[in-house]
Structure 1
Amino acid sequence: MSLSKSLYTRGIQCPKSLWLKKYKPDILTPPDAAALARFETGNIVGDLACNLFPGGREVAYDASGFKKMAGTTKRWLDEGLEYIYEATFIYEGIVIMADILCNTPEGVEIYEVKSSTDVKEIYLHDVSIQRYVLERLGYSVKNCHVVHIDSSYVRGEELDLNGLFTIVDVSDEVDALMEGVPVKLAEFEACLGDRENEPGIEIGKQCKNPYDCDALHYCWKVQREIPDYSVFNIFNLGSRKQVELYGQGIVRIEDIPDDYPMTAAQRQKVANWKSRASRIDKEKINAFLETLRYPLYHLDFESFQQAVPEWRGVSPYQQIPFQYSLHIERADGTLEHREYLAEEGSDPRHGLAERLIEDIPDNVTVLAYNMSFEKGVIEKLAADYEELADHLRRINENMRDLMLPFQKQYYVTPQMQGSYSIKYVLPALVPEMARAYKELDGVQNGSEAMNAFAKLSGMEPEEKEKTRHALLAYCKLDTLAMVKVLEKLKASVLR
């Protein structure tokens, strides 16, 4: 059996996913921009963590095979090298590469590096297969560790690696898994031994835990034709009721029995879908509209995150705003647009905050969709820049949330599929705006915007200019979409 530690952990999540990766890789969904960015971040963090263990050497990747890499690892261990990065070992077709291996007179220590901010259970399985291979090869594994990012770290003038990283001893947790490793390997070998017959594993909680499986579309849509809106949207995946209904062959919401026990919120969603009728509470929508004072300042931020903070005062994975769009709507319906996009390669926060308080006067109504994000960004800017804090906090005090009428179910349509996310509200209310996003060139969603800005400094001038235009066009559409959604709300109370 040929297996790597990534394939092993894939099998831990779902053996069928492992089989598909081996024998039907073409059906798997390719990684999107966000996933590729995570992979890149993982590589950066992994390389940086090696500096916690100075004086080591990295086993060079050899695309022609792993035997040479394993040979290099063994030679360096025999020579007494203390730290080896990407230490490679092969046992009965199982190939593992330890991120950092510490070689001591009493045995070896495993350090698995992760770009996350905590120790997840799947990481313990990752380390357990490494320990299994090492022990089968005759090495004494002294201790096992996971090295991860400490989200509480705040960067000073210089990057402090000891503050950025946390090293957690997981030896006891891994020890508890060791007895099960041979059992899992036997299970995977039996699964992969049958090339012709795809494992008959039903969809379930493992499809999205601990990661969204790249076979999800194949298993859900191609094989089972699960509707976009189904019992899985009404009941949490893996919950007792969801499992019960699916076990009875009930997938479509219209097939849920009227007397099936549900919470009030679940029953309302089911009733809305079955009736195919919109529900509009004019009185409550009108009460919301009366909280708005013109001119309205429709605000949307774009932000990005850094696992390794580049600038003073920034924490790992902190939301760093780099752009905003502002549509100013007058009482007569006229619009004025303002925007800001930071220069790449430097800390964008102060310049953005200064421009924001120029563009948004005191005591005006600011409108955001899911305002908790915008308010969080502004509050962090206020905390970072004392001289701007008063004005920034007044912006927050005067902010209203356009999401509220949908979140509180004042306005519900079947097309929203039980959600108040703008992803569902916009195509339900303003389908032409939803189509406009698909027609954008280069940047069509928040993940693409985040990744595009992070890469700007490495682009050639022509590509950089094109990308900046794409970022501005995307963010501008976000606030224009808010204007259009508000128009629909105002029209609904006039019917």
Structure 2
Amino acid sequence: MNFSKSLYTKGIQCSKALWLKKYNKEVLTTPDATVLAHFETGNVVGNLASKLFPNGLEVTYDASNFNNMVETTKQWMDEGLEYIYEATFLYDDILILVDVLKSTPDGVEIYEVKSSSSVKEIHLHDVSIQKYVLEQLGYTVTSSNIVHIDSSYVRGDELDLNRLFRVINVSNEVNALQVDIPQRLKEFETCLSDHENEPDIDIGAHCNRPYACDAKDYCWRTQRNIPDYSVFNIFNLGSKKQIELYKQGIVRIENIPDDLSMTPIQKQKVDNWKSQVSYIDKENIKAFLDTLTYPIYHLDFETFQQAVPEWEGMSPYQQIPFQYSLHIEHEDGTLEHKKFLGADSIDPRYNLARRLIEDIPRDVTVLAYNMSFEKGVNVKLAESFEEFSEHLLAINENMKDLMYPFQKQYYVMPEMQGSYSIKYVLPALIPEMAQAYKELDGIQNGSDAMNAFPRLSSMEVLEKEKTRNALLEYCKLDTLAMVKILERLKELNEENV
């Protein structure tokens, strides 16, 4: 069958996705920069976790000769090596690589390393197929374990691997899964034995669980012509009403029956889409605008995360601010722009916090879009740098949320597709601004920025300079977009006078 543990877990999620991966991978979505960065994080975490099991040897990966990897593993086990990294085994055309294999007098122990901060169900299936193969080959598996990041860990001067990682014994859960594996493998073998006919499996909640499937665009858009904005945006995927409508062949919002029972928010979204007419609550928009005083400081942070905290006082996956843009809007309409972009290879937080309190006075209106994020960044900075704490928290006290009028449904356009995310609000209100993002060179969204900054230190001089300029231009556009959205709200207010 030429199977692997990654194909096994893909089949657990959806056997159609498994078939496509084997026979029609051209229809699968190509991994983007975020996915690739996640893979790289997994490699880094795996290499670091192996240090918890010292004095072992790693089987060199060779995609052209797995048999050699299997033979190397067996040789080292026969020689009595305690720890083997990427230990490789093959049974009945099922190939597994064990992150860390420990040999003991009583048998072997499995350690599967994950870069996540908890044990997930799919991880148990991953380990379960490893245990199955090992036992079919005659080994006794005495324990099955998952090694994952402990997000509560706070780094000191040195990295403490014993506190960074948690080792969780999942033997009971993995043992309970063994009984189903032979039947699952038969089902997968039957699925893959037909090279010509793609399995007929409908879409559903499994398309997003445990991961967004790389076949989703093919199954949803290409095969079923489900529009970007559909009943699945109105009702939760897998909910009773969504399933009921889908079974009736209703996926377009305009086809939802008028007498269908819905919550007020759901009904407003449906009515707004059907009528293709914008809803504007000018009175409440005016009330929001009246809470703002000039000058208005439009603020946007860019952050990134590290699975392994590089600097003292940081925790795994903590949001690390490395950049901000600040457009200062005066009452006469003039704009000032201030910016900060941290140097690569050093902790950017201290210098960012110091510059931020220089650029933003304590008692001015600060405007953010989804201010809970900017507030959260400031709180973390205040906790880390006591000398700036009072000023940073004062900034939070005067912060307003530009998302509020859209979140509260004071301004609803069909083009917003029922969302108050700036991703939908901006192109609906100011289409030319959305186009401006597409014309940016290199960095066009937050994910691009988040992935680019940690890579600066490994870039050549010219590439680094280009990337830093791209980061500055992108973040600058973010706060300019906020200025333009506020401008549109003020135009509505003036029309009301």
TM-score between the two structures when normalised by the length of structure 1: 0.99
In the alignment, the residues of structure 1 paired with residue 477 and residue 290 of structure 2 have an alpha-carbon distance, to the nearest angstrom, of 25
1:317 maps to which residue?
A: 317
2:177 maps to which residue?
A: 177
1:198 maps to which residue?
A: 198
1:472 maps to which residue?
A: 472
Secondary structure class of the residue paired with 1:180: helix
1:15 aligns with 2:15: yes
In the alignment, the residues of structure 2 paired with residue 183 and residue 406 of structure 1 have an alpha-carbon distance, to the nearest angstrom, of 51
In the alignment, the residues of structure 2 paired with residue 55 and residue 247 of structure 1 have an alpha-carbon distance, to the nearest angstrom, of 58
1:215 maps to which residue?
A: 215
| 1:64-121 deviation digits (Å, cap 9, x = unpaired) | 1211001111111111111000000000110000000110011101000000000000
In the alignment, the residues of structure 2 paired with residue 183 and residue 484 of structure 1 have an alpha-carbon distance, to the nearest angstrom, of 59
1:278 maps to which residue?
A: 278
1:258 maps to which residue?
A: 258
Secondary structure class of the residue paired with 1:333: coil
In the alignment, the residues of structure 2 paired with residue 352 and residue 390 of structure 1 have an alpha-carbon distance, to the nearest angstrom, of 16
Deviates more, 1:257-266 or 1:305-314: 257-266
1:148 maps to which residue?
A: 148
1:241 to partner: Cα distance: 1.2
In the alignment, the residues of structure 2 paired with residue 244 and residue 139 of structure 1 have an alpha-carbon distance, to the nearest angstrom, of 49
| 1:133-164 deviation digits (Å, cap 9, x = unpaired) | 00000000000000000000000000000010
1:57 maps to which residue?
A: 57
In the alignment, the residues of structure 1 paired with residue 175 and residue 382 of structure 2 have an alpha-carbon distance, to the nearest angstrom, of 47
AA partner of residue 412 (structure 2): V
2:335 maps to which residue?
A: 335
1:414 maps to which residue?
A: 414
2:437 maps to which residue?
A: 437
1:493 to partner: Cα distance: 2.2
1:481 maps to which residue?
A: 481
Q: How many aligned positions are there?
A: 495
2:228 maps to which residue?
A: 228
Secondary structure class of the residue paired with 1:309: coil
AA partner of residue 79 (structure 1): E
2:39 maps to which residue?
A: 39
Secondary structure class of the residue paired with 1:494: helix
In the alignment, the residues of structure 2 paired with residue 164 and residue 129 of structure 1 have an alpha-carbon distance, to the nearest angstrom, of 27
In the alignment, the residues of structure 1 paired with residue 172 and residue 78 of structure 2 have an alpha-carbon distance, to the nearest angstrom, of 28
In the alignment, the residues of structure 1 paired with residue 460 and residue 154 of structure 2 have an alpha-carbon distance, to the nearest angstrom, of 32
In the alignment, the residues of structure 2 paired with residue 411 and residue 285 of structure 1 have an alpha-carbon distance, to the nearest angstrom, of 8
1:62 to partner: Cα distance: 1.3
1:93 aligns with 2:125: no
Deviates more, 1:264-273 or 1:21-30: 264-273
In the alignment, the residues of structure 1 paired with residue 263 and residue 188 of structure 2 have an alpha-carbon distance, to the nearest angstrom, of 40
AA partner of residue 420 (structure 1): Y
AA partner of residue 239 (structure 2): S
AA partner of residue 35 (structure 1): V
Secondary structure class of the residue paired with 1:80: coil
| 1:1-60 deviation digits (Å, cap 9, x = unpaired) | 111100100000000000000000111111000000000000000000000000110001
In the alignment, the residues of structure 1 paired with residue 139 and residue 244 of structure 2 have an alpha-carbon distance, to the nearest angstrom, of 48
| 1:399-455 deviation digits (Å, cap 9, x = unpaired) | 000000000000000000000000000000011000100100010111110111000
| 1:165-189 deviation digits (Å, cap 9, x = unpaired) | 0010100111111111111101100
In the alignment, the residues of structure 2 paired with residue 239 and residue 136 of structure 1 have an alpha-carbon distance, to the nearest angstrom, of 41
2:371 maps to which residue?
A: 371
In the alignment, the residues of structure 1 paired with residue 346 and residue 200 of structure 2 have an alpha-carbon distance, to the nearest angstrom, of 52
1:451 aligns with 2:451: yes
2:103 maps to which residue?
A: 103
Deviates more, 1:175-184 or 1:474-483: 175-184
AA partner of residue 387 (structure 1): E
1:494 to partner: Cα distance: 2.7
1:359 maps to which residue?
A: 359
Secondary structure class of the residue paired with 1:95: strand
Structure 1 alignment gaps of length 5 or more: none
AA partner of residue 179 (structure 1): V
1:255 to partner: Cα distance: 0.6
In the alignment, the residues of structure 1 paired with residue 212 and residue 460 of structure 2 have an alpha-carbon distance, to the nearest angstrom, of 34
Secondary structure class of the residue paired with 1:351: helix
1:131 maps to which residue?
A: 131
Pairwise mapping of residues 283-302 of structure 1 onto structure 2 (< 5 A)? Answer: 283-302=283-302
Secondary structure class of the residue paired with 2:153: coil
1:261 to partner: Cα distance: 1.5
Secondary structure class of the residue paired with 1:312: coil
AA partner of residue 321 (structure 1): P
Pairwise mapping of residues 150-165 of structure 1 onto structure 2 (< 5 A)? Answer: 150-165=150-165
| 1:289-332 deviation digits (Å, cap 9, x = unpaired) | 00000000000000110000010000000000000000000001
In the alignment, the residues of structure 1 paired with residue 165 and residue 388 of structure 2 have an alpha-carbon distance, to the nearest angstrom, of 32
In the alignment, the residues of structure 1 paired with residue 96 and residue 243 of structure 2 have an alpha-carbon distance, to the nearest angstrom, of 36
Structure 2 alignment gaps of length 5 or more: none
1:194 to partner: Cα distance: 0.7
2:385 maps to which residue?
A: 385
In the alignment, the residues of structure 1 paired with residue 263 and residue 388 of structure 2 have an alpha-carbon distance, to the nearest angstrom, of 46
AA partner of residue 189 (structure 1): E
Q: Give every structure 1 segment of 4 or more consecutive aligned residues whose post-TM-superposition deviation is greater than 4 Å.
A: none
Secondary structure class of the residue paired with 1:179: helix
